[in-house]
Amino acid sequence: MEILKVDNVTKTYHMDGEDVRALRDVSFTLDAGDITVILGPSGSGKSTLLTLLGGLSSPSEGKVYCKGKSLYDMPGEQLAQWRNKLFGFVFQFHYLMPELTALENVTLPGQVARREYGVCEARAAALLYHVGLKDRMIHKPGELSGGEQQRVAVARALMNEPEIILADEPTGNLDAKTAEGIHDVLWELCQKEGRTLIVVTHYEPLGKRADHILTLNAGQVIKKRS
């Protein structure tokens, strides 16, 4: 079943009187439960594409559909609701709250969604267990390694059981071995729970494990294995 559809999307940034075309006439579809890897050189439009898919930035032309609904034709408040409910984000930098423990950080999206704290805490503990941090739950981010911090960020992204996980170079700051561990955890959790996963990475071998590879080049997309 189709979950995301990008239809003739162009994104142009205006900066210092100049137009930067970050995406040019991009079209593709993705099915629910699929795992997609996005590859491409720096500046090719990967992050721009991810923000468009996640309801964070509107295209200059074209449409983005999620579950058949045109995201950027919704009123802002409704789009915000969809975004919070449907998407989990993992970025290159973890953006964890330094004063909170790993467990508390993971519960945060649940609290924002006004879920009962006990329910949030139980799910957060289960997620931290699954990402391999059962002995680190009451540590603060500053007491964790870079890889552990990113594992917490992965758990946090899954807190509200989003249907779609968008990860933008989640291992960009980590060594190869640590990076592999993070990707394993992301993959396992998404597959186990049937979530759609879209990962931007520079690590090409990851493409072998994906259902689709989207390769970006100067704002244009080639989709393989659809």
Q: Return residues touching Mg ion (CB under 5 A).
A: 46-47
CB of 73 to ligand ADP, least distance (A): 22
d(CA 11, CA 160): 30
Binding at 201: pick from Mg ion, ligand ADP, none (beta carbon under 5-8 Å per type):
none
Tokens of 199: 């990962």
CB of 23 to ligand ADP, least distance (A): 8
Give the β-pairing of 220-224 and 212-217: antiparallel
CB of 45 to ligand ADP, least distance (A): 4
Binding at 48: pick from ligand ADP, Mg ion, none (beta carbon under 5-8 Å per type):
ligand ADP
d(CA 152, CA 93): 12
Closest to Mg ion by CB, 11 or 46: 46
CB of 52 to ligand ADP, least distance (A): 10
Binding at 40: pick from Mg ion, ligand ADP, none (beta carbon under 5-8 Å per type):
ligand ADP
What are the respective helix, strand and coil percentages of the chain, to the nearest 5? Answer: 40, 30, 35
Closest to ligand ADP by CB, 14 or 192: 14
Matching residue, tokens 């071995």: 177
Tokens of 83: 């975004």
CB of 47 to Mg ion, least distance (A): 3
Closest to Mg ion by CB, 30 or 38: 38
Matching residue, tokens 């999620």: 66
d(CA 94, CA 24): 30
H or E element in which residue 179 lies: helix 176-192
Q: Which residue's Cβ has the minimum distance to Mg ion?
A: 47
CB of 221 to Mg ion, least distance (A): 15
What are the residues binding ligand ADP (CB under 6 A)?
13, 15, 20, 22, 40, 42-48
Closest to ligand ADP by CB, 44 or 171: 44
CA distances from 177 to 58, 128, 133, 172 (A): 36, 20, 17, 12
Closest to ligand ADP by CB, 160 or 215: 215
Closest to Mg ion by CB, 127 or 216: 216
d(CA 203, CA 184): 13
